[in-house]
Amino acid sequence: MTASTATALQNWTQPDGPGMPLWALVSAVPDAGLVVGGNGRIMAANARCLAVFGYEPGSLVGRPLELLIPDHARRAHAGNMAGFLEHPTARPMGRPLSLRAKRSDGSLVAVDVSLNPISLASGRAVVVSVRDISSLATRASQLRESERQLKRLVEDLPFAAVSIDNAGTIRYCNAFLCELSGYDASELVGARWVEVLSPPSDDSDRMWLKSVAGDGFLSRYESPLLTRDGQTRLLEWSNTRHMNEHGEVLTVTCIGEDVTAERMMQREREQLIQELRRVNAERLELLGRLTCAEEKERRRIAHELHDDAIQSLTGVGLLTASLRVEDGERLKVRRIQEILSGSISGLRRLMFELHPASLGHTGLTAALDKLLADLAGETGVRVRFDAARYAGDVDRAQETCLFRICQEALINVRKHAQAGSVEVELSGEEDWVVLLVADDGVGTDSLSSAAGHLGLVSMHERAEIAGGRLTVESTPGRGTTVRCRLPRHAP
């Protein structure tokens, strides 16, 4: 060590020496601070060197700076140091260099370094500030890895991913969009979206781009995408804006799902539903005509029975009553009269079942009351009829429908239910009328559909034609409940 170097070291290492201002300067450095002389030896070190290098500041003074340089970089460092001293220029921190320092235990630490040349009486020297950036380097490495993972994730997405600027220029696109559109990424990046991927006849993308910088920005919308081979795919986009601190839009990230097949299936499904509705409407119209024809035929047969068979039988009965017969023949004549009377009663009951005249005269309640009276008289089943909440004001067609459904339900009670009692309730609910037929019989899975009766299917069809709904609840051993709900006025 030369005498001048020793004097400079004394000035730098003794707070009360003539070098006090420079000592105060290096001590004020917020990082590990060193003063290195032109000979490459450390002339001063501040207290933060212990945390960064693991050396006590005093132990570094007088030692060569190479002590803190990794072994593999020492040769290059010697040349760099000589060049710096020959042409000294301040070097700030923050330059993109990968620097390492060697600690006292031999480990390496990532650092950033600033260099500031100064002039001393003994010659040129350098103030070196060293900052430990190992945690920052770790975070930067983690960030780069996260970015790589995110990029891999975006590339592997089964969705189109694209980033565009506020002018609509593509800045990034993933592999899925390239595969979907038929373009390479090199052809898309830098191109304007609407000029490459939007059909010329569609303005949805152009309109959306106008909203990017405004309050009317759409975070979700659908638009067609024109592929390289001229096909059109429909994409549903989810969009996120990225802004600067002034609220200006920098880029927009768009994630698009190809919904072409889904929308096609949806259109086909809607067309099928419309077709089913049309077919069902035609079916209901046909059923309505058949029901109307059936009622007309019932009415015609009932009239013929009244005008022909019953009148003839009644005439025969009157003639028989006027006969003068011997005492031995009176029993036979009386038997004939009983048979005629029974036949006339049976025909009148059949007439009522075919066409209840009371529907047109005294209304639905009277017709249902007679149905129940006939059931009780013929089978002994206990009946109860409640129409207290029925106010009338129902179309004739709706009354006929309710009568036929109740008639079919009571036929089931008569033939299959083995019931001890049956309850019929007729009530009104605003614009609706409700018929309830409940028995306590053995229960069944379906109503009778024997020849001459409508059966369960026909009951449902009648209710559907009338614009209502019919439900049947039946539990073995606990009876059957039929509930029909119709609008007061026929559709």
Give the domain ranges of the chain.
3-135, 157-258, 285-355, 357-487
Instruction: Provide the 10 A C-beta neighbour count for residue 210.
Output: 13
Sign, Cα dihedral of 138, 140, 146, 149: negative
| pTM greater than the 0.85 cutoff | no
Distance CA 184, CA 326 (A): 119
What is the side-by-side order of every strand in the sheet holding 160-165?
170-173, 160-165, 249-258, 232-243, 220-226
For 47, the token pair is 């207290």
**488 and 432 in contact (C-beta within 8 Å)?**
yes
SS3 of 244, please?
coil
The answer to which of 161-170, 201-210, 278-287, 308-317 has the lowest mean pLDDT is 308-317
| Residue with the larger pLDDT of the pair 344 and 45 | 45
Instruction: Work out the average pLDDT over 303-307.
Output: 59
Average pLDDT over residues 73-89: 84
- Our CA angle for 307, 309, 313, nearest 5°, is 115
pLDDT value at residue 120 = 80
Alpha-carbon dihedral angle through residues 57, 58, 59, 61, given to the nearest 10 degrees:
100
Helix (H) or strand (E) holding 36: strand 32-37
Rounded-to-10 torsion of CA 191, 192, 198, 200? -110
H or E element at residue 308: none
CA angle 101, 102, 104 (to 5 degrees): 140
41, with CB counted inside 10 A (0-12, 13-18, 19+), is buried
Query: What are the phi and psi torsion angles at 124 (to 5°)?
Result: -75, 150
Residue ranges of E strands in 302-420: 382-389
Average pLDDT for the chain: 81
Closest of 110, 92, 91 to residue 100, by C-alpha: 110
> 7 falls in which pLDDT band (50, 70, 90)?
very low
**Assigned token pair, 59:** 């132990």
Largest interatomic CA distance in the chain: 177
Residue-level pLDDT at 385: 93
pLDDT of residue 307: 56
For the segment(s) 3-135, the CATH number from 3.30.1360.120, 3.40.50.1820, 2.70.98.40, 3.30.450.20 is 3.30.450.20
Backbone angles phi, psi at 286, to 5 degrees: -65, -45
Please tell me if the domain spanning 3-135 has the same topology as the one spanning 157-258: yes
117, 126 Cβ separation under 8 angstroms: yes
What distance, in Å, lies between the first and last C-alpha atoms of the chain? 116
**pLDDT tens readout for residues 386-431:** 998 998 788 888 888 888 899 888 888 888 888 999 999 999 888 8
CATH topology for 157-258 is Beta-Lactamase (3.30.450)
Q: Count CB-CB contacts under 10 A for residue 485.
A: 17
- Report strand pairing: 382-389 vs 421-429: parallel
In terms of Cα–Cα distance, which of 36, 37, 58 is closest to 47? 58
Compute how many other C-beta atoms are within 10 angstroms of the C-beta atom of residue 46.
21
| Fold exhibited by the domain 357-487 | Heat Shock Protein 90 (3.30.565)
**Least-confidence region, from 103-107, 133-137, 298-302:** 298-302
Confidence of residue 80 (pLDDT cuts 50, 70, 90): confident
Assigned token pair, 74 = 């020492």
Residues 435 and 422: beta-carbon distance below 8 Å: no
Q: Is 78 exposed, middle or buried (0-12, 13-18, 19+ CB in 10 A)?
A: middle
From the list 130, 1, 114, the residue with the least C-alpha distance to 57 is 130
pLDDT at 70: 92
